[in-house]
Structure 1
Amino acid sequence: MNLMRPVSELRDWIAQHLDPLHDEAVQGAARRSDYDLTPDGWAGVETRELKPAAVLIGLIEREHGPTVLLTRRSETLRNHTGQVALPGGRQDPGEKPWQTALREAHEEVGLEPHYVHPLGLATPYQTGTGYLITPVVGVVRPGFSLTPNPHEVADIFETPFSYLMNLANYEEHERELPTGERRRFYATTHEDRYIWGATAGILRSLYERLYGAALA
Structure 2
Amino acid sequence: MNLFEKIELHLGNHQNIIRFGSPLDFRSAATLLPFYEQNGELQIIYIQRAKSFLPDGREAAHSGQIAFPGGKIENGETELEAAIREAEEEINLEEKDFTIVGKLGEFSTHVSGFLTHIFLARIDGEPDLKMCEDEVADIVAVPVDALLDLHRPELDAHNWVNVMKLHYHWQVPMTGKEICIWGMTGRATWCLLEMLNEIGF
Q: Runs in 1 of length 4+ with deviation above 6 angstroms?
A: none
- Residue 42 of structure 1 is matched in structure 2 by none
Whether contact under 8 Å (1:122, 1:206) holds in the other structure is: yes
- Residue 164 of structure 1 is matched in structure 2 by 147
The worse-fitting range, judged by mean Cα deviation, of 138-147 and 194-203 is: 138-147
Whether contact under 8 Å (2:38, 2:126) holds in the other structure is: no
Distance 1:19 1:133, change over 3 A: farther
Structure 1: gaps spanning 5 or more residues: 1-7, 36-44, 173-182
User: In the alignment, is residue 105 of structure 1 matched against residue 87 of structure 2?
Assistant: yes
Whether contact under 8 Å (1:123, 1:209) holds in the other structure is: no
Whether contact under 8 Å (2:167, 2:181) holds in the other structure is: yes
Deviations 1:132-181 (A, max 9, x none): 11110010112532111111100011001233345636897xxxxxxxxx
- Residue 125 of structure 1 is matched in structure 2 by 107
Whether contact under 8 Å (2:37, 2:126) holds in the other structure is: no
- Residue 75 of structure 1 is matched in structure 2 by 51
Aligned-pair identity (%) = 26
Partner secondary structure for residue 122 of structure 1: strand
Partner secondary structure for residue 130 of structure 2: coil
User: In the alignment, is residue 15 of structure 1 matched against residue 4 of structure 2?
Assistant: no
Whether contact under 8 Å (1:165, 1:207) holds in the other structure is: yes
Whether contact under 8 Å (2:91, 2:129) holds in the other structure is: yes
User: In the alignment, is residue 202 of structure 1 matched against residue 188 of structure 2?
Assistant: yes
- Residue 55 of structure 1 is matched in structure 2 by 31
Residue 19 (structure 1) shift: 3.9
- TM-score, normalised by the number of residues in structure 1: 0.72
Structure 2: gaps spanning 5 or more residues: 54-59, 156-162, 172-177
* The structure with more helix, counted as a fraction of residues: 2
